[in-house]
Amino acid sequence: MRIVVIGAGGIGGWLGARLASTGQQVGFLVHGGTLEALRSEGLTLLDGSGGEPGTVTARIDEPLVSQDPGTLVDALGGHPDLVFVTTKVDALPGLAPALRRLIGPGTGVVSTQNGISAPGMLAGAVGTEHVLPGVARVYSAVVSPGNVCTIGSAGSLALGEWDGAASALTAGAVGVLEAAGIRAWVPDSIWAELWRKVSFVAVQGALGAAANAPIGVLRSELRDVFTAAVGEVVEVAAALGHDLATDDVSDPVTAVLALADAQPAGATTSMQRDIAAGLPSELDAQVGSVCRAGDDTGVATPVLDLAHAVLAPREARARGRQ
């Protein structure tokens, strides 16, 4: 498969290093210091999923690292089969022209962002027929440009067609991801899967940022508050027609608590790390979107409303609005 990864941060570096290290033809649409680092040093993933940290290093031919979509299409010998969009939500509107130049008639554009808005934003740029909503689960962070680390499990990626239909493209994507050591699958409902992630990551990020605490504190001292917030997300999803129960666990809240209990105690989300550093974050995309969906469906979200209100002034300062 011909593959392009847009961005080489925590998610893009993790995906790109694993895919490129298996011999897949992978191009990277990046810029600035990341562009120079990938051209000169390649991409290195410090993988802590197996207990003892291991290193995945991918050397990348210079033409396959570019800030120009046309250069990547030429270097790949044609339009990519898959484009993994790994930037943050804020960057998506500005990517529309590049995406239109990258894709061909059969290209699938995989979203990996947290929150519920990214697939629709990408569809606005390229059409629903190209968008494969995706749900990435991995704890990863950038050490320096071109160097990414992960902790905990090796990570996973669920993806599916917009309308839920089976396709050769999603089956092929699962195959290349699995070959790269990434657990991958096509769920019965990619939209329910997206909301399942929101019920964990958005809650962890919101409460973790408000309390300045990792998951170990949220699942112990703040367990009741964490549980209530998860329940709010589950109720909003249900009001929108997405049942988050699974064949294994009938109570979605119980499933999220079990997931929280299984995480490294010091784990944090990228959103709360951005907020702690005084940087613009995905507070609105991850938390505000759920609060608004609650308003639209008549579902009360008091815990998330409070967390959002507490964090909003910090977000405004980070964006220069205060």
Q: Would you write out the chain's pLDDT as a tens digit for each of its 322 residues?
A: 999 999 999 999 999 999 998 989 999 999 999 999 999 999 999 887 655 556 887 888 889 999 999 999 999 999 999 999 999 999 999 999 999 999 999 999 999 999 999 999 999 999 999 999 999 999 888 999 999 998 777 799 999 999 999 999 999 999 999 999 999 999 999 999 999 999 999 999 999 999 999 999 999 999 999 999 999 999 999 999 999 998 888 999 999 999 999 988 998 998 999 999 999 999 999 999 999 999 999 999 999 999 999 999 999 999 998 6
Given 2.60.40.1170, 3.30.360.10, 3.40.50.720, 1.10.10.10, which CATH number is that of 2-187?
3.40.50.720
Q: What is the pLDDT of residue 55?
A: 81
One fold for 2-187 and 191-318: no
Q: Where are the beta strands (DSSP E) in the chain?
A: 2-6, 25-29, 43-48, 54-58, 65-66, 82-85, 108-111, 131-132, 134-144, 147-159, 183-185
CB 287 within 8 A of CB 312: no
The total of other beta-carbon atoms located within 10 Å of residue 265's CB is 11
The pLDDT, as a whole number, for residue 53 is 55
Distance CA 83, CA 108 (A): 6
Edge-first strand order for the sheet with 131-132 is 65-66, 25-29, 2-6, 82-85, 108-111, 131-132
Q: 160: Cβ–Cβ under 8 A, 6 or more apart, which residues?
A: 132, 133, 170, 186, 187, 189, 190, 193
Closest CA to 4 of 56, 88, 60: 60
State how far the Cα of 38 lies from the Cα of 259, in Å rounded to an integer. Answer: 34
Burial 9-23, CB ≥16 within 10 A → b, else e: bbbbbbbbbbbbbee
Angle between helix 223-239 and 289-297 (nearest 10): 60
Q: What DSSP character marks residue 18?
A: H
Runs of H (alpha helix) within 4-117: 10-21, 32-41, 69-76, 92-102
- pLDDT of amino acid 49: 63
Q: Which residue has the tokens 């067609």?
A: 161
**Domains of the chain: which residue ranges?**
2-187, 191-318
Helices within 212-251 (DSSP H only) = 215-218, 223-239
pLDDT at residue 59, as a whole number: 81
Residue 189 backbone class (left: φ over 0; alpha: ψ -120 to 50; beta: rest): beta
Architecture field, domain 191-318: Orthogonal Bundle (1.10)
Q: For residues 141 and 10, what is the distance between their CA atoms, to the nearest angstrom?
A: 4
The token pair at 28 is 């990277």
DSSP, res 39: H
As a whole number of angstroms, the distance between CA 112 and CA 137 comes to 9
User: Do the beta carbons of residue 113 and residue 281 sit within 8 Å?
Assistant: no
